[in-house]
């Protein structure tokens, strides 16, 4: 995420919805494209391959240190997995960026399977492993970065993510010639090469081996071996398998919530409504002790048709889930907040909490067109912080904010909206509100 208050004259550019568009420098375009990019997946307005091509074309136009930091921020702050590796691939193809590839690659790889996925991206247009090695040799900086990353993982992690595919973890070892730090690590790596690493005790391994879903989930819950995100993602499967609501409720009550923000609970509740009361309790617990957003805030949420699109092709979370999750957070931590939605019209939402607020936002008006300019004109006022959550499309011109204005962009479109000094936050991150608080404290 970044504060991008660089002003340029409007060019003859338009958003996909037809409003006058704000164009950006190569660095700004790269940040916008990366922070919401789901690798080669189509979005509501843009083709996924077009976004990927734009990213690779922009990298040589941006300073190496800046590209490296964008990749690291995308992985560590925005929790993206694929997009940072696409950036490093583009860096490896650029002579002036190549010197930073090893250190950047080591930072952005945080799971063993991300090493094999990186090589798959690197060789994505070459068929067959032997052909890949011959037609596109791996540069020394890539080998160095992968070797450093490999050394970070223990036996459990390597066994958990050693999956079938055109590139295996042992291939990474052979290609990089990574050196073990000690005899114990050498033993683990030999077991990986020989295929003798002990299988990890995870729900994926147990269920793929034919174990009872009900018994597996109940045992993992009892032994506290199911992390918070795994628990939320598997709620529907647990209920279908016959795990009782009481057992699931106890798991939700005991789960760590310190790194889980509201939108994940909201997404989980859509496909597991039977445990919504338990999910809401856990969500409120996750918000306890959060830093306060001081002063008066008006939150303006896009509920147009494009906001009902999934965040990615494989995700059940919608852009609107992200928006309502942020609204639930702001409602709890703001000193004084008013919440509005916009589509064709502007509607004020009653100040409810939790899932009741989600329902009020979603049901506030039909999900149709996008008149952001009209909405900003109607509700913006001096002395009030205005936070807009949108995919940055509009049928009309969006004016400059009268005070502090934040445009949180949850899509990857090339052009944006809004004249004047909007502070643009490109990419939906779990830390977006913390970032706004930190920015204002710095000021």
**Tens digit of each residue's pLDDT, the chain (443 residues):** 333 333 333 344 554 444 444 555 777 677 655 654 433 333 333 344 566 777 788 899 999 999 999 899 888 876 777 888 889 999 998 999 999 999 999 999 999 999 999 998 888 754 344 454 555 689 999 999 999 999 999 999 999 999 888 889 999 999 999 999 999 999 999 999 999 999 888 878 887 777 899 999 999 999 988 889 899 999 999 999 999 999 999 999 999 987 787 888 998 998 899 999 999 999 999 888 888 999 999 999 999 988 887 766 566 778 888 889 889 999 999 999 999 999 989 999 998 999 999 999 999 999 888 888 899 999 999 999 999 988 766 678 888 899 999 988 776 544 455 456 888 776 566 567 877 887 787 66
CATH 3.40.50.410 fits 293-442, yes or no: yes
Residue in the block written with tokens 């996008």: 370
Residue spans in the chain of domains classed CATH 3.40.50.410: 293-442
**3-state DSSP assignment of residue 407:** strand
CA nearest to 430, candidates 311, 342, 273: 311
The token duo for 207 is: 């269920």
**3-state DSSP assignment of residue 220:** helix
CA nearest to 398, candidates 300, 296, 324, 297: 300
Partner residues linked to 14 by β-bridges? 20
Residues contacting 356, CB < 8 A, separation 6+: none
- Length of the chain counted residue by residue: 443
**Interatomic CA distance for residues 230 and 171, integer angstroms:** 28
């Amino acid at each position: 995420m970044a504060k991008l208050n660089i002003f340029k004259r409007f060019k003859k550019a338009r958003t996909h919805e037809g409003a006058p568009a704000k164009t950006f420098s190569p660095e700004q375009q790269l940040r916008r494209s990366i922070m919401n990019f789901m690798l080669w997946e189509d979005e509501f307005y843009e083709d996924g391959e077009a976004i990927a091509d734009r990213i690779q074309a922009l990298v040589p136009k941006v300073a190496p240190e800046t590209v490296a930091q964008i990749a690291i921020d995308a992985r560590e702050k925005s929790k993206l997995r694929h997009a940072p590796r696409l950036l490093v691939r583009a860096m490896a193809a650029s002579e002036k960026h190549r010197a930073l590839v090893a250190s950047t690659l080591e930072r952005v790889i945080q799971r063993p399977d991300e090493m094999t996925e990186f090589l798959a991206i690197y060789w994505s247009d070459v068929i067959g492993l032997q052909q890949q090695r011959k037609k596109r040799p791996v540069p020394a900086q890539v080998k160095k970065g992968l070797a450093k990353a490999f050394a970070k993982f223990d036996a459990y992690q390597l066994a958990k993510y050693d999956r079938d595919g055109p590139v295996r973890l042992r291939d990474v070892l052979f290609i990089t010639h990574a050196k073990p730090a000690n005899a114990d690590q050498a033993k683990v790596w030999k077991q990986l090469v020989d295929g003798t690493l002990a299988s990890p005790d995870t729900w994926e391994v147990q269920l793929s081996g034919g174990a009872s879903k009900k018994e597996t989930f109940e045992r993992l819950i009892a032994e506290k071996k199911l992390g918070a995100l795994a628990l939320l993602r598997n709620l529907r499967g647990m209920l279908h398998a016959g795990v009782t609501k009481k057992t699931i409720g106890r798991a939700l009550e005991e789960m760590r919530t310190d790194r889980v923000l509201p939108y994940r609970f909201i997404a989980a509740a859509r496909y597991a409504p039977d445990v919504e009361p338990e999910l809401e309790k856990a969500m409120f617990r996750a918000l306890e002790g959060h830093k306060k957003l001081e002063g008066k805030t008006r939150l303006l949420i896009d509920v147009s048709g494009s906001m009902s699109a999934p965040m990615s092709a494989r995700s059940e979370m919608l852009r609107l889930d992200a928006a309502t999750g942020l609204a639930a957070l702001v409602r709890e931590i703001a000193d004084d907040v008013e919440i509005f939605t916009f589509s064709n019209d502007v509607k004020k939402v009653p100040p409810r909490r939790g899932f009741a607020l989600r329902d009020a936002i979603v049901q506030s008006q039909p999900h149709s067109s996008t008149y952001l300019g009209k909405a900003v004109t109607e509700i913006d006022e001096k002395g009030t912080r205005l936070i807009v959550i949108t995919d940055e499309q509009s049928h009309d011109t969006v004016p400059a904010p009268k005070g502090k204005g934040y445009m949180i962009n949850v899509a990857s479109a090339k052009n944006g909206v809004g004249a004047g000094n909007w502070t643009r936050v490109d990419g939906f991150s779990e830390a977006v509100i913390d970032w706004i608080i930190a920015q204002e404290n710095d000021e």
